[in-house]
A and B are shown apart, each in its own frame.
Chain A
């Protein structure tokens, strides 16, 4: 009797079971009640951004749901996710650890204009004139040296030292200049020197056999281990090693003329965000002086954009930044990435 009623083969039951399972699970998640919340996508390391978002949650009662990026995704993570989600965004706020990708999102129509009050105190060069994004909490490109391998008078002090034969190329390191802040730094040099000279410089870097490694944190780790004498990285990478007591020191390069690239965090409201008001509240919160200081204290940022003073893991000092507009840097990034891919990925 039973066999007549159940004519389908074993797959029929399995398929029905699968449909029921997926529908039930999907239904359960769909029926979750949403409290007051804000969704933030951030490329700032979780270890630094999570405490800030927890603090925001405590102080405002708005639940901050975050998605964190990782260095290993090589900037193909959250930015491309935001682009893919353009028609139906999930994020309210994009908190970026640098600025170039934020400008890309503006160009792609992913962002909405919002000019927070706190932005008025930030120098105009670090703000979008149309209010699509605001910079805050700066990092800088720095040289990290191994203090056990080099004497103080042997320390490099310029990015030009990458091609100087005083240091063997294989003991000097740089992350791929086609990803992350190293790509942004390369684009800044393209904008400052012009593409021809910049490409020539990077060709010399390659000819000097400088070690091109997987990321800024790898540069730091190799310097810490003594496999590299020194390398070019970001302040947060260098300072995390210093704060752990590793035998490394940090040098701000080119303070006499060129200046170093200051990389501000940038924050922006996502267009058609599901919770725009909560998003604006989070942006206001991130731009407050307290958070500026908290990010310095935590070790993520080391330069307040208000003062251009480096502080945090070494003695306080004024920073000479590269005199170049962020938009000009962004406009060079595609050409720089394409040309440097030909030079370094071979």
Chain B
């Protein structure tokens, strides 16, 4: 009997060890669900049971009349922003793609630092510039057109970055071969753009969703959008469940948009090394295309310079800037630590999910909507959900502590990281991984010397994006920030109400600088890593 028990236990242990990899993978997925989706699932537990009558659910979820009009206006605005942002982003990225020698090849990515600048700040700087202009231009400082322009400008760095990733992922050998037989314009139209199309679609989908969910810029320019309706509902009823139901149409549209936009990414053509240049010989474009690209370049330059110059001009004196930064030193440190923690935790959490997303089976079909749904939830509801979740499961060690803002940011932004990493996983040469499985002396060695170096660019990009988004996050942080702690964004918006434009400018520039430093460190890390573990095609 004893022997049977021992044998049974041996057998079980052996099975456990055999399946441990799969077990840990599922454990990782469970952790992602708990930390990232948990707050969303906890929103209905907002302590207001029975606050929604059965008859109210239909009208809340399905907009009619005035709400339908708002939704249609939001869709038209988001569509126009997505189209303009994508066209400009592709044009600018096409130029930046030709910068293949350092330091320009590194500098081109610095535009991504402007992602950290809250859209509201873009709105204020553009509004300030345009309102000083005479005549028609001054009158255009409000309404649908102004909202469209400012949202496009605010999202342009993201559009450029995503398009640039698409161009950088192209196999230069394909382009070199095509250029032998065709002129550059034909190569662009028939080879390059079709190959980059999945990235362009994905980019336009993301811009569409981000524009659809933002109410801050449109309301500043007196354009009512559906996202404001969610906030109005929440403000009037103080019921998170009602607000979530009001947000349902946005959630569904976002889900469908991103799923469609991402579906083609699975078939995207990719190369293994982004450092190989496709343009050793500069391309010859026709005059009209050159003019268009130059115009796009000019607009992008304005996008960078207008906010920075207006902010710089708002700083009345350097001592005042130093005083502002000193007064906000604890917020700067807390923001940096929170961003760092959210970024680090993202890189850990997204590994199993990104693997699921990069697959083609039923599992991917389940995980895509789970991840996408996160992106459409109003941020203050993520904060309320975080309170509902952590108050119940970790009341003494997490709830009300310094971890809370990082966890809320994780819930909001980790799905973006997962999307980036899954795109990166699909461009990995899987033969390398298979070779590593055979040749590695241990899994640990295989992990550090093969898998991690291969995954590093995707992980670093996910880290950078999540850390950037976290540094500018406001609505969820406001709900979960521990007493006595605040973030830079919270102080910026506090100063905005007071009208202290000099202090706002100083803090915003600090935010951009912080992101640039983070980006530069990430770039240096990538450079060091790729020298340590050279990839295919490199010495």
**Residues of A bordering B, CB below 8 Å:** 2-3, 6-15, 17-19, 21-22, 25-27, 29-30, 39-41, 45-47, 63, 65-81, 83-88, 90-91, 104, 108, 176, 178-179, 183, 211-215, 217-218, 220-221, 224-225, 227, 237, 240-241, 244, 334, 337-338, 341-342, 344-346
Given A8-B24, A26-B401, residue A346 in contact with residue B483 (CB < 8 A): no
A81→B383 contact, CB < 8 A: yes
Q: Select one of A2, A73, A240 contacting B499, CB under 8 A.
A: A240
29 A-B contact pairs sorted by A residue (CB < 8 Å): A7-B20, A7-B443, A9-B24, A12-B20, A12-B24, A12-B25, A12-B27, A18-B348, A22-B345, A26-B401, A45-B494, A65-B483, A68-B494, A72-B120, A73-B380, A74-B232, A74-B235, A76-B234, A76-B380, A77-B475, A78-B478, A214-B216, A214-B219, A217-B497, A225-B131, A227-B141, A240-B499, A244-B499, A345-B229
In the assembled complex, which residues on chain A have CB atoms less than 8 Å from the CB atom of B481? Answer: 67
Given A47-B500, A341-B232, residue A21 in contact with residue B403 (CB < 8 A): no
Q: Select one of A13, A39, A214, A345 contacting B447, CB under 8 A.
A: A13
B235→A213 contact, CB < 8 A: no
Instruction: Provide the bound-state CA to CA distance between A14 and B459, in Å.
Output: 13
In the assembled complex, which residues on chain A have CB atoms less than 8 Å from the CB atom of B482? Answer: 65
Given A2-B442, A46-B494, A84-B47, residue A18 in contact with residue B484 (CB < 8 A): no
Additional A-B contact list (11), CB under 8 Å, known A30-B401, A80-B384, A85-B387: A2-B444, A26-B403, A29-B397, A39-B484, A72-B474, A73-B380, A81-B384, A176-B219, A179-B235, A217-B499, A237-B499
Q: How many residues of B contact A (CB 8 A)?
A: 91
Q: Select one of B20, B234, B403 contacting A80, CB under 8 A.
A: B234
Interface 0/1 of B205-233, CB less than 8 Å to A = 00000000000100110101000110110
| Interface pick from B81-89, B270-278, B485-493 | B485-493
B28→A15 contact, CB < 8 A: yes
Q: Select one of A87, A227, A337, A346 contacting B235, CB under 8 A.
A: A337
Q: A301 to nearest B CB, angstroms?
A: 14
Instruction: Provide the bound-state CA to CA distance between A237 and B479, in Å.
Output: 24
Q: B383 to nearest A CB, angstroms?
A: 7
**Residues of B bordering A, CB below 8 Å:** 17-18, 20-21, 23-25, 27-28, 31, 46-48, 66, 69-70, 120, 128, 131, 141-142, 216, 219-220, 222, 224, 228-229, 231-232, 234-238, 240, 243, 341, 344-345, 348-349, 351-352, 355, 380, 383-384, 387-388, 391, 394-403, 440-447, 451-452, 474-475, 478-484, 486, 490-491, 493-500
Given A10-B447, A80-B240, A346-B69, residue A26 in contact with residue B495 (CB < 8 A): no
Where chain A touches its partner, the secondary structure class is helix
Given A90-B400, A345-B70, residue A178 in contact with residue B232 (CB < 8 A): yes
Q: B223 to nearest A CB, angstroms?
A: 11
Instruction: Provide the bound-state CA to CA distance between A3 and B437, in Å.
Output: 11
Q: A256 to nearest B CB, angstroms?
A: 31
